[in-house]
Chain A
Amino acid sequence: METLTLDTFVTKSKSDSPSGPYIKVGMDTGGIAAGAARVLEVLQEEVKLAGLDLPVLPTGSLGYSFVDPLVEVKTESGLRTVYGKIDEESAKQIISDHLKEGKLLDDHVVASRKRTNDLGDTQTFAILVKDTSCDGGDKTQFFQASFEEDFRHEGLTGKVQVVRALDMGIYGEGLVVKLLPSGVTYANILTRDIAQIVDQSLKGDKVVDHRVYAKNDPQNRVVLRNCGRVNPESLEDYVAAGGYQGLAKALKASPEETISTMKDSGLRGRGGAGFPTWLKWKLTSDVEADQKYVICNGDEGDPGAFMDRSVLEGDPHSVLEGLMLAGYAVGATKGWFYIRAEYPLAVERIRIAIEQAQEAGILGEKVLGTDFSFDAEIRLGAGAFVCGEETALIASIEGMRGSPEPRPPYPSVKGLWDKPTSINNVETLAAVPAIMAKGARWYSSIGTEKSKGTKVFAVTGKVKYPQLVEVPMGTSLQQIVFDVCGGVLDDIPIKGVQTGGPSGGVIPEQHLNTPVTYETLQELGSIMGSGGMLIMDEHDCMVDVAKFYLKFCVDESCGKCAPCRIGGYQMLQLLELISSGKASLEDLSHIERICNAMKKASLCGLGQTAPNPVLSTLRYFKNEYIAYIEGGPRYARQRKRELAGKPERKAS
């Protein structure tokens, strides 16, 4: 990429966007684990063999972890098709069937979640069908056959394809059909509706009103806007997608204006505590110093959370741009990425992004020809969850044990090497360029009064379709779990949702309708946290879950302060006693006492919040604790057998 100046840069437009056909493969850690690297190879070989002229490129994750590895195909016509669960065999089919013959593959299409009730003027060339009912037997094949038969009668065979979809993004709505390319979707279709649909919507141009499914997917991709779309190793791709426009805009105005835009946007820290981002920047900006720093906290450590990893792997330039904006706002000339060593791909992608930005004059002396200079470096974590704590993170970069230090002084005043430092998490930083480019008003129109914008969640556990979800603040858990992620595995009744990871708590079934905001989750005894969301079905044992999270905190405690170091360990021992049926009711009161001491006398957030999983399960599921205590060892053994037996029965 040629060296850019602020003026040439802002005139660059989307017209530069690489147009034309391509194949993109979701090369994030999850995708690679599912075989994406091999798929990429095969696709490249096959494209060559077939003598086709189109690039096969890597991209990040679209978030649909349950159908990894993902492949996106864009053809000459401009139509984009996403395929999931692609292996070598199906990769070859993409070339032979889709690209050569224009035939979509059965059982691999992941339907776009955009839905409409407008047929538009383009002729339908294919329909996607899928049985989304939860009654066990999958009738998709039968459904496809019914359409095909009808097509034969109506002379549509060969003109419109009937394709079995892998995923429609619609769950529990019976038979669903989606028309391509319009996106008109019908749900809960009965056999008798087929003829009507064919007649009206395929042969004619009318929508069958009573079956239209126009309910929109609640998702709104701000942070994940480029994930799975741009090539994370291409600066051109990012710029073509509107990248670095926010920075260019900010550089034309004062740092104060950047801060005020952030204030108007209402963005709050996505790392967990929800501290207003603008205020953090302002506090750092207000301190006079010869050197200031900004740090991107990429030490995502909640077990079961992979939002930050996906963004770092899928859209590294957006995080870099966010960090630069933070640097510009606070007056820092140096930024640090602190990333888990367990995320080698994320580290590599950020490294490439930094290099590319340096080469293009976006990073370094006189950014885009302005007076703002900024550079960035990467430092690795080394397996310590507590380093998510700001002061511990700083200690770690400085080459010391990651033990938190008392605050004040806050890092905004005395941070890295005693210089004023602003630390923001990956998700926060990735949102910043979008806000700068599109404006505070746009962002603040999303979400609720006090919690603005969107939040990314990693929904896992006993959920049918584990994935990354980005929804506006205020979306209910119910919507996230059932509408977006298809509900509970095997349709077992849900027991609750754990949010906030080891610092959070369990929200029981009766509160699933609560809109998700910082405040509501706290009222329910949990926290937003970084965005892990664990779904539990009614068989899951809450004492076990509490133990799991507490054990995590005990393993990850830095061990510096007594309440956390000993309190966590001793509480875990007491929980072990309970789950082996050897505890008494008195032990429960000891647990509560220890929780209280840990919450109030621990030095840092890890210790202060470590009791939350225990406290919240005690609040909503005390009966399960009592059952162990009253049931004794015999009950405990029986329960253990039940719990151990379950994974064997499951298959997803």
Chain B
Amino acid sequence: MIQEIINATINGIPIKVPAGTSILQAAQGVQVKIPTLCKHKDLLPTAACGLCIVNIAGSPKKPRACCTPIEEGMEITTHDSDLTDIRRSTLELILSNHPNECLTCGRNGNCELQSLAGDFGLRQDLIPRYVRELPCDDSTGSIILDFRKCIKCGRCVQVCQDVQNVWALSFLERGINNRMAPAGDILLNESPCIRCGQCSAHCPTGAIVESDEVTTVWDALHDENKYCTVQVAPSVRVALGEAFGLPPGTNLTKKIYAALRRLGFKAVFDTNFSADLTIMEEASEFIERFVHGKGEIPLITSCCPAWVDYMEKRFSDFIPNFSTAKSPQQMMGVMTKTYYAEKVNMDPAKIYQVSIMPCTAKKYELERTDEMYASGYKDVDVALTTREFARLIKQSGIDFLNLPDEEADSILGEYSGAGTIFGYTGGVMEAALRTAYFKVTGKNLQQEAIDIQPVRGLEGVKEAEIDVEGTKVRVAVAHAIGNVEKVLNKVRAARDSGEETPYHFIEVMACPGGCIGGGGQPYGIDNEVRMARIRGLEADDRDCKLRFSHENPEIQAAYKDFLGEPLSEKAEALLHTKYVARPSYSK
């Protein structure tokens, strides 16, 4: 289809854009920034904030740039004294309905409302402040809702309902009482919330923030009785830099190791190692089911705790299909408190494990079921999001960007390229297939076939057929959890009609783009940022000497010295878990 090209002008600058382009998008193309607090690149315009109004020659109205498509011959003015005045008045109104708590707010310094107020030079409150007193909701332990700070932009509700299809957040009431809240005015942890944190990643203010546990970590680090260990997740290394002004995708693995060591961690491990371990278990599990027919097909990945929660609440009929392998975070925890403890001859009771995660749901996973205490202790003690980790570094006085590179500690520090790509959508699938291929055929994929392209990229559902020496393995990859329903419905339909399953292996990650787009990552997410972070991890994979989990020597050692082999009794006891159906509403 040939796309119609529209001619118009913005502030006198001629533009040519495809039909359907909004004024806001077109303005960005000619270096004009129109302020907005509600429009987010990931989302459809909600038209809520009213700041992006513009003038169009010949029209008495001031349409919103976010949702007005450019029409042929439009002469658009985006900035003049009248528009600025109206924007200032609207901002004043928004501020008059917002608590004056910037200094103690979770978004201090990176709040979209705060920046705009600064840009517009608002110096005093002209209108009396009215803020409805509503208590914070910290019931999930992952995300804190501070309803008073909400500006009703609608981003979180759209992300939660339309992108994630979770429907934990909603708008209640109307008018001045219109508010974002869990459906039916219950607590968030009584709602269908899966703690993916996408609401917090999209919130322009401090109304939704991660539950901050930085001080807990400080306390542990200062506790002489605790032997602090740490793991850092794949996707953190390519996003953390953004909190320090670096472009997205910059790989900071070795500076992160150095920073963690300076913070006082006695052992610095890498979740990439346990990602390799997860692959060993999961690929074996896949072969058991696919080749030996022991267990349900398709096998569905389970390393995303938000997805696990979602499945238990909405798709519990797929419990038998779930990989019982624990997530890399939990495998690392249990391995630290058993295998490592044994090796260094340390009482596991003294070992304290911190994980640095891109994710708010990882906080929930720590206590998800009894199996999260497989070492006899809480396997991972506390999970920090990337955003919290950035604050921890800043509080410690470490000149992060100028740190020398350092390495992770053995025996849980080495990783393969397959481990690192766990951080983006399709990565778990790709890593598992690399190892499964080897396990089935006894040889590795050819160099040029290692990158399994069809499962890469930001398409919501990706499907592929992988040829394993004549056997076709049909796989599906879904991310942004709203997309999972389509995939599972296909499986259900086949199952109900007794037809052959459309897929053998399904990977699901709750966040758009996978963990690199996690709810706990630095602010400012959009597809451009997601792709940059993915490119960062892809490069890390390519640069790795080892591209296969089964070739990771520390993995081989762990099996040889401690676990035996994948799916051994010990591995089952330590590295696997169970699932139960849960109600969407606990109230």
Contact = CB atoms under 8 A, between A and B. Distances in A.
Interface string B487-511: 0000000000000000000000000
Interface stretch (B2-10, B93-101, B202-210, B417-425): B93-101
Given A569-B130, A597-B93, A603-B64, A562 B174 contact: no
B176 interface: yes
Nearest to A589: B126
A394 interface: no
Given A556-B175, A557-B175, A557-B176, A562 B48 contact: yes
Interface in B103-133: 126-128, 130
B325 interface: no
A594 B178 contact: no
A40 interface: no
B62 A558 contact: no
A232 to B, nearest CB: 34
Contacts of B51: 601
B171 A401 contact: yes
A381 to B, nearest CB: 14
A569 B48 CA distance: 16
Nearest to A560: B48
A105 interface: no
A596 B84 CA distance: 12
B174 to A, nearest CB: 5
A401 B174 contact: yes
B154 A597 contact: no
Main SS at interface, chain B? loop
A559 B90 contact: no
A561 interface: yes
A645 interface: no
Contacts of A406: 45, 47, 63-64, 67-68
A566 B196 CA distance: 31
Contacts of B53: 600-601
A569 B50 contact: no
Nearest to B179: A559
Nearest to B89: A597
Nearest to A553: B175
Interface residues of B, number: 37
Contacts of B316: none
A561 B49 contact: yes
A570 interface: yes
B136 interface: no
Contacts of A601: 50-51, 53, 62, 86-87, 89-90
Contacts of A559: 152, 171, 173-178
A597 B82 CA distance: 10
Interface string A546-573: 0000000011111111110111111001
Interface string A571-600: 001100000000000000010011011001
A589 B177 CA distance: 26
A603 B175 contact: no
B43 to A, nearest CB: 14
Interface in A164-214: none
Contacts of B50: 561-563, 597, 601-603
A578 to B, nearest CB: 13
B21 interface: no
Contacts of A602: 50
A597 B126 contact: no
A408 B178 contact: no
A418 to B, nearest CB: 14
A558 B93 contact: no
A236 interface: no
A572 B437 CA distance: 70
A553 to B, nearest CB: 9
B47 A405 contact: yes
B250 interface: no
A368 interface: no
B86 A596 contact: yes
A554 B175 contact: yes
Contact of B151 (A401, A405, A562, A573): A562
A603 B53 CA distance: 10
Contact of B93 (A408, A556, A566): A566
B46 interface: yes
> Residue among B86, B93, B126 with the most chain A CB within 10 A?
B93
A134 B85 CA distance: 53
B58 to A, nearest CB: 16
A601 B90 CA distance: 8
Interface residues of A, number: 32
A393 interface: no
B69 interface: yes
A78 B297 CA distance: 86
Interface in B427-446: none
Interface in B51-76: 51, 53, 62-64, 67-69
A609 to B, nearest CB: 13
Interface string A439-477: 000000000000000000000000000000000000000
B352 to A, nearest CB: 46
A460 to B, nearest CB: 25
A383 to B, nearest CB: 10
Contact of B97 (A384, A554, A566, A590): A566
B16 to A, nearest CB: 20
Given A405-B47, A567-B93, A560 B62 contact: no
B155 to A, nearest CB: 13
B126 to A, nearest CB: 6
B174 A569 contact: no
A541 to B, nearest CB: 23
A412 B256 CA distance: 57
Given A594-B93, A596-B89, A601-B53, A558 B174 contact: yes
A597 B175 contact: no
A89 B96 CA distance: 61
A590 B92 CA distance: 11
Contacts of A569: 97, 130, 175-176
Contacts of A562: 48-50, 90, 93-94, 97, 151-152
> Residue among A554, A556, A561, A593 with the most chain B CB within 10 A?
A561
Nearest to A567: B93
Contact of B86 (A384, A590, A600): A600
Given A561-B47, A600-B53, A593 B89 contact: yes
Nearest to B37: A562
Nearest to A564: B50
Contacts of A597: 50, 86, 89-90, 93
Contact of B90 (A405, A408, A556, A563): A563
Contacts of A573: 128, 130
Nearest to B71: A408
A561 B86 CA distance: 14
Contacts of A596: 85-86, 89
Nearest to B50: A601
A560 B154 contact: yes
Contact of B175 (A558, A590, A594, A600): A558
Contacts of B67: 406
B68 A570 contact: no
Nearest to B127: A570
Interface string B143-181: 000000001101000000000000000010111111000
Contacts of B48: 560-562, 603
A603 B90 CA distance: 13
Interface in A598-646: 600-603
A33 B401 CA distance: 79
19 contacts: A406-B68, A555-B175, A558-B178, A561-B49, A562-B49, A562-B50, A562-B90, A562-B93, A565-B97, A565-B152, A567-B90, A569-B176, A570-B97, A573-B128, A594-B127, A600-B53, A601-B51, A603-B48, A603-B64
Interface of A: 384, 401, 405-406, 408, 554-563, 565-570, 573-574, 590, 593-594, 596-597, 600-603
The 9 tightest CB contacts between A and B, nearest first, are A559-B178, A597-B89, A601-B50, A406-B67, A569-B176, A566-B93, A557-B175, A406-B47, A559-B175
